[in-house]
Amino acid sequence: MKAKSVIKISIISFMSVFVLAAVHAQTASPEKKQASSSTQKKEEKKYKVTFIELGSVRCIPCQKMQPVMKAVEEKYGDQVKVVFHDVWTPEGQPFGKKYGIESIPTQVFLDENGKEYSRHVGYFAEEELVKVLKQKGVK
């Protein structure tokens, strides 16, 4: 009987920690919530282009795109958000469906409003890819 009481008390104590954490999260000051929300909006709007690479780490042409993505991120990271989705994984498959991918690698370019303005299938040389970025004012 004593062991059951100890277990019940332990469970109640454990659950109360979660309740307190939830209450604290809900009672965070509105200023903090609004600040993080506005910071997030600024973060989203600061990029002129979102460059989405849809491929797989196991695909040879996709592997050749990795240095191109890295170079774009290093040179234009303040203006271009580079995103990679491995569409051969359960986590990446929804993005393959979302963008209607039929072949990899596929590059999708979104403007600052999230609207697709360009798409390319296959290996995309850095020099040619940069031309697509410059269409939206990337310098």
Give the pLDDT band of residue 25 (cuts 50, 70, 90).
very low
Q: Measuring CA to CA, which residue among 83, 14, 17, 15 is closest to residue 55?
A: 83
Mean pLDDT, the chain, as a whole number?
79
Question: What number is the average pLDDT over the span 93-109?
Answer: 97
Q: Delimit the domains of the chain by residue range.
A: 2-41, 47-134
CA atoms of 99 and 112, how far apart (whole Å) = 17
Say whether pLDDT at 61 is over 50: yes
CA distances from 35 to 9, 40, 45, 84 (A): 39, 8, 15, 28
Q: Give the residue with greater pLDDT, 87 vs 42.
A: 87
Question: What number is the average pLDDT over the span 6-29?
Answer: 36
User: What would the CATH number be for the domain defined by 47-134?
Assistant: 3.40.30.10
Size of the chain in residues: 139
Question: What number is the average pLDDT over the span 20-39?
Answer: 39
Report pLDDT for 45.
52
Which three-class secondary structure state does DSSP give residue 84?
strand
Which three-class secondary structure state does DSSP give residue 26?
helix
**Cβ-contact 37, 88 below 8 angstroms:** no
Say whether pLDDT at 93 is over 50: yes
Say whether pLDDT at 32 is over 70: no
CA atoms of 53 and 96, how far apart (whole Å) = 10
Q: Give the residue with greater pLDDT, 99 vs 11.
A: 99
Of the listed ranges 39-43, 64-68, 131-135, the least confidently predicted one is 39-43
